[in-house]
Amino acid sequence: MKRILKIFIALVLIYAVLIAYLNIANPKFSWDWSKKNVEDINFPKGFQWGTATAAHQVEGGHTNNNWYWWESQKDENGKPRIANNEKSGLAVDHWNRYPEDIHLMNDLGVNSYRFSLSWSKIMPGPNKFDTAAIQHYSDVIDSLKSNNIRPMITLHHFEEPLWFMQKGGFEQEENIRYYLAFVQKVFEAFGDRVEYWCTFNEINVYTSGAYMSGDFPPGKKDSRLAGTVLMNILKSHVKAYRLIKELPHGNQAKVGIVKNIFFFDPKNRLNALDWLGAYFANDNFNNSSLDFFETGEYRFVVPFEANVSYLDTNAPKTLDFIGLNFYSHYSTTLNLVNHDKMFSPVEGEEMSDMEDYTLYPEGIYRAIKRMSKLKVPIIITENGIADAKDDRRGKFIQRSLFAVSEAIKDGYDVRGYYYWSLMDNFEWNLGYSKKFGLYDVDLKTQKRTLREGSKKYEEIVKKFAN
């Protein structure tokens, strides 16, 4: 009996030491905002102040891509794939109204605009290019530049041609050639006028949505396939980077990739299983791709389901900058059966309109610190809040930019900040209910109206933009 008691006491002590170590090595990151002077901010000359959009979410007129198909599909229970059975349709008609929207950017005082090219409009078939679509984007670029707004292009923002998806998309390494053909075509058309290029947007969101949760097209739930797709996207980036650098004007281009950092913190910091769940979630969602650009090693592990690895020691040389998208963080526990049940909102924090996104503006400092390990310039390519009542947006903007300013003050190389989004849009599987826009959009009249909370961004931009 004494021996059993000794073993029990020893195990308890080992567990206590383990938990103590985890808490000391990974302290909770949160700020007491009552002790912060959020007006004490500063930004360097040449800082990029911008807004961002994505083609499928704002342009309208998409009839040949993966999301157009997805909007007509039902799930296994017969429910629409998109909330409220909504369709992107005309969206906010940015395709036709871009001159008006560029004037809205001028009103804000921003000097940059991040937008994506519609791969499906430009490349409607495997070996076919639409010259009218290419001309359209050429006109957009010229209009931006004539208004002293720097264009930043995203080449893949969740949207891809339906024919590409039907060929297996990035599930098949051989399909990378189609993406590269698109990259070459548009860089040859715009490379003389566009300096900043993002090869992919939120690669882990894309793969987890499309191949783990099944919320994005093609709606598969296969962890190993998710790991393979992410690996092929990373390979695509490396190939696209090298391709661009070999083309005319490629030596002047700055090419990067956009990574969403979403932290996974243990729900109960005294529970080792919650720490384990947070470890696996952070490793797959954040470290799998960030480590690839730091060391060249890619690994994607889901216990008992997936173990995908790849090595390219030259990968760290294929980033001129890294795009950081940041929104929130999750409380995490371990659930090996149902991955979706692992995550929940962090208790005690104010909620945004996204059902599981709390307001965590200090997290952007934490994300900058994590991303700084890559030792390349950081551009915050997305940061924003869904806030239909517009009663939290101003505070969120002020605190987020305070956190960015603090990061710059502490020596982190942050070159720009792009608010998501310029205007309300089609928020993928969530439809039109999530209002991220600086500008409210009446979907019936297409009238744009600057929100009161957005004026905080306008105020800060006009103070520091030059």
Beta bridge partners of 325: 260, 382
Beta bridge partners of 265: 331
Closest by CA position to 362, among listed 41, 29, 40 = 29
Q: Give the burial class of 218: count Cβ atoms within 10 A of its Cβ; 0-12 exposed, 13-18 middle, 19 or more buried.
A: middle
Tally of helices (H runs) and strands (E runs) in the chain = 15, 13
> Is residue 406 annotated as a catalytic residue, yes or no?
no
Catalytic residue among 160, 171, 202, 382: 202
Beta bridge partners of 326: 261
Which residues have a Cβ under 8 Å from the Cβ of 250 and sit 6 or more positions away? 187, 191, 244
Cα separation, 291 vs 170, in Å, equals 20
Cα separation, 411 vs 419, in Å, equals 22
Q: Give the burial class of 359: count Cβ atoms within 10 A of its Cβ; 0-12 exposed, 13-18 middle, 19 or more buried.
A: buried
Structure-block tokens of residue 246: 């070999």
Q: What are the CB-based long-range contacts (under 8 Å, 24+) for 18-27?
A: 18/272, 19/269, 19/270, 19/272, 19/275, 22/266, 22/269, 22/272, 22/275, 23/269
Cα separation, 249 vs 395, in Å, equals 41
Closest by CA position to 457, among listed 423, 407, 408 = 423
Which of helix, strand or coil describes residue 327?
A: strand
Catalytic amino acids? 202
